Structure 1
Amino acid sequence: ITGGAQTYLANLYEIFKGEGHDQRVYQFNDNVHDPELELVPHAPKVFNGGRALDLWWFNFLLPLKFKSLSKEDTLICHYAFHSLPLFWKKNVIVLSHGCEWDIPATSLSQKLKIKIAQWSFKHFKYLVANDTNYFRQLGVDIKPKERMFEEVLPGKWYIPNCVDTSVFTNVDPATDFPEHAIVVPRNISHARGIHLSIEAFAQFKEKFPETTLVVVGGGGDEQYKDYLNSLIQKHNLEGAVVFKGSIPWALMPGVYNACEMTVVPTLQREGTSLSALESMACGTATVSTNAQGLADLPTAQSDITADDLARVMIETYTSKDSVALSQQQEVRTNYNINKWKEGWLKVISQVQIR
C-alpha cells in the first residue's frame, strides 16, 4: 500500500469480505498474481508516455475484459476517468478520490478528464465522492463538511475518507526520527506541494530552530527533486530537511506518534486526505492547506502560499497539544471507519435493491 487510494481499496475489500461478497479487482499487471485479480498490462515502454499514457492505456484495454465484467453484479469504478469504457454496464458506482485534474486544468489530458467526469456524473446513477469539492466542480451547491454520509442527490453520495481509530491511535513512537520532527507524509510531486512545505518551513524554523522537516513518501521526477534541493540550499536548510522515502502503511502510526506536527501542503488533486486523518487520529497536531477536499477536514488550514502556511504552522505548533486533542476527538467521532462502513453498506443496498 503506497497511497490513499490503495488504502481505501484495502479497507473497502475488507468491508465487503465481511459481508460475504465475492470480489474481483481489475488492475494493472504489477507481477502480483491472485485468483481475485483481473490483470491489464501496462502500456509498452516504447511509447514513453509515463503514468498519464498508462492510465489511458488501461481504459483502452479494459474492454478486453468484457466477458468477465459482464458477469459482475456491481462494479465500483475508482475515478470517473475509468468509467468511460464501462458505459454499457448498468450497476456501476463511480468512486471519486478527489478531482483528477488541476483547477484550472493545465493540459489537454486534464480537460478531457473533466469532460469525462461531467459525462459520467450524468450517465451513471451512482456516485460516491469523498469530498464536497468534487460535487462543486460538477455544479452542485454544497459547502465543505455539509451532508457527510448522506445522499446529496439521488444516487450521489458524499462519504468522506475515514480512519480505523483502533490502528491509528496513541502507540509507541518510531525510534529513527529526529527529536523535534515535523512530518510531511506526501509522495514527492509538485501537486503534493513538497516545495511549499520547504518554503514555509524556512520561515517556521527561524522561530523553532530545533525542528527538522521529514518528508515521508516516494516518487518524484529528477527535475522536481533538483528544484527541492535548490530550495534547501537557498534557505540554508541542509540537514534540516530529511527525505525518508516510502514507509510501509502499517508502520505509519509509529511515525505520526514520533512527530510533533504533521503538514499536508497539497496544491492540487486532493480529496479528504487519509494521511491527514491518520495523523489526527494518532493525536498529532495537523496542518494543511485548504486545497480542494482538505477543506472538509478538521485540520488547521492555510491558504496555498508559503507565507500563510508558515503562519498556521507557527500558530499550531505553539498550542500543539490542545490542537492535537481537539482534532483527535473530532476524527474519532466523525471520521471513524465504522461510520464509513455504514455509509458504504447503504450505497450497496441501494444498488442491489434497484
Structure 2
Amino acid sequence: MTDRAPQPVDRVLPTDESRDLLALVRDIAQREIAPKAAEEEDAGRFPREVFTLLSESGLLGLPYAAEYGGGDQPYEVYLQVLEELAAARLTVGLGVSVHTLASYALAAYGTKQQQVEHLPAMLGGGLLGAYCLSEPASGSDAASLRTKAVRDGDTWEITGTKAWITHGGIADFYTVMARTGEQGPRGITAFLVPGDAAGVSAAQPERKMGMKGSPTAQVHFDGVRVCDERRLGEEGQGFAIALSSLDAGRLGIAACAVGLAQAALDEAVSYATGRRQFGRPIADFQGLRFMLADMATQIEAGRALYLAAARLRDAGRPFAKQAAMAKLHCTDTAMKVAVDAVQVLGGYGYTADFPAERYLREAKVLQIVEGTNQIQRMVIARHLAGPESR
C-alpha cells in the first residue's frame, strides 16, 4: 500500500524565507518520498537519488553557513524540515540528521582552510556523510573506544572497527573518533576520513526490524592513512567534539520522532473516520476519541519541547539538558503513538497493507540511537543534581 502524503502541520515560522522553505520540503515529500516509502522500505532500498535531490535543493546543509554552501537557517527551522521529511519516510529524515551530525565537527571545529576545502562539497555537492563513534564493545560508554590513530610524521594511521554506523558502506566521508593518547575521554581525536580511502571497508548491513532502507553496518579501518590536515580540532579534543555533536544530534532525533508520530496519528485519524462499525464511524466512540486526543496532545508537547531547545541553541545559550529531555520525550511519544495507531486500526494495523506496523517497527530504534533513553535520563539528572549525586 502506498503511504499517504504527510498532512500539513500548522507552524509558526520566523521569516517568509523559512515558510517558502517548508513549502518546498512538503512538495518534495509529497511527490518524491512518501509515494515510494512503503515499497522501498519493504525492498530494503536506500533512496540515494532523494539525497541527491535534497542536496541540489540546498536541504543538506541548512544549519550551516551560506559561505560554505549551507542554508544559514536556525535550528528552529532546520528541525521542522527534518520533521516533515521523517513524516514522509524516516529513512530520509534520519539520514539528513546523520549527515548534519557528520558535518558538525568540521563546521564547528575545523580550521578556515579545512572548511573552505571540504564543506561546500559536503553541504551542497551531493556527498553523504556518516558519524563514527560507537564500536562493538563501546556504545553508551563511548569514552572507552579502542579504534587507534597513530601519528607518523604528517600523517595518521587509523585502525579499528566502528559499529552501528548509519550510511556505513555508502557514505562519501566519515567523521571518525579515534584514540590518539591516554585511556578515557582525554585521549580521543576527531578525523575526517574519505569514504574511498584505502583500507576503509564495511561489513554486510545489519538485519534490522525496521528502517530496512537505511543501511546500518560496521565500518572497518585497516591502517587507513590520512594527512594531519584532516584532523579536526586539537589532539585529545575529540570526545568534547563528540559530546557537542550529540547535543545537536539529539534534537534531530527528537524532530524525526515527532514526524513519525505525526504520520502515525494521521493514519489513525484517517482510518477511524472512515471505518464504520455499529452504524457509525469508529471515531465517534468515546474510548477511541480519547486515545486520539492523547496521541495528538503528546505530539504537540514533543514538538514544543524540541523547538524550545532549538531556540536556546539558536540564542547561543546552554541547551544540553533540554536536548536530552526532547530526545527522551519525543522518542517515547513516537513509540506510544505508534503502538496506539496499530490498536486503532485493529487487525489491519498488524498487516503490512497499512503503514502503521512499519511506524511501530521504526519507532523503536529512535529510543536507542544517539544515546539510549536511559542515558538521556542520566544526562538530565546530572544537570539537575550534579554528577556526584546518587
Q: Same fold (TM over 0.5)?
A: no
TM-score by length of 2: 0.28
Return the structure number with greater helix share: 2
